[in-house]
Amino acid sequence: MNRINQLFADKGDRRILSIYFTAGYPTLESTLDIAEALEKAGVDFLEIGFPYSDPVADGPVIQHSSEVALHNGMTLHVLFEQLKELRKRVSIPVLLMGYVNPVLQYGVENFCESCRAVGVDGVIVPDLPMYEFEEHYQSVFEANGLSNIFLVTPQTSEERIRKIDGLSTGFIYLLSSSATTGKNLSVSESTTAYFSRVRAVGLKNPTVIGFGISDHETFVRATEYAEGAIVGSAFVRLLGEADYREKIPQFIHQLRG
């Protein structure tokens, strides 16, 4: 059982909180400092984004962080060098999140082996087609103890949701909408119907909701329908402030309420 499975197995009534941030932002060397500060503040697991020049699903805040990180010199090679110190400083589950192009350029097998070597528990690659994963890469992920996290949107069919559940080994990432990141969570009748529809499928994997979670209210609202929620843009926006290090504990405390 890897750290992700252990987290959800042990969660009890706890609402799981995940934070996303971009590696290499605001400075090239800030990645591990931020990760360590988030664990100390009480975050349950981390999603570290590796930047890409064409982040099609990201809103302006995360796009900007990717541009700065790339300008700072962040690459997958640099990130894996930094993450060699990860497990000396962070004990909670850590996932890498990004687009498939940099992974293909790095080499999928090399990427998975590098993840295992530094203690990464899972990967979220939104534009990796499910059939390609199943056909070409599933065995490589499994051999390296990596959970590949699939995304579900309001438009995803029940048949595909069931297929995703069968292929998943960590959790399933429910996008609250099909918009880009950074939009506020709007729990309309259609959104609650979507969350309820997914729950009614009877999944074997836990679910985590992302996109639009920015404060205590939206965190609680999301975790009424899923085991956890992910905060991205709101936290990345905080990292743009000069004194962000001092504000991290308060930010997490306010999210949890």
**Sheet architecture: strand order including 207-210:** 147-149, 122-124, 94-97, 45-49, 16-22, 228-231, 207-210, 172-175, 151-152
Q: Which amino acid, residue 175?
A: L
Instruction: Determine which one of 44, 47, 121, 165 is catalytic.
Output: 47
Helix, strand, or coil here: 16? strand
**Residue 58 annotated among the catalytic residues of the structure:** yes
Instruction: Please report, for residues 44, 63, 185, 232, the alpha-carbon distance to residue 256 in angstroms, rounded to integers and kept in the order given.
Output: 11, 26, 16, 15
Peptide bond before residue 26 is cis, with ω within 30 degrees of 0: yes
Q: Catalytic: which of 36, 39, 58, 165?
A: 58
Task: Round to whole Å and give the CA distance between 111 and 96.
Answer: 11
Beta-bridge partners for 147: 122
At residue 46, φ and ψ (nearest 5 deg) are: -115, 145
Catalytic residues: 47, 58
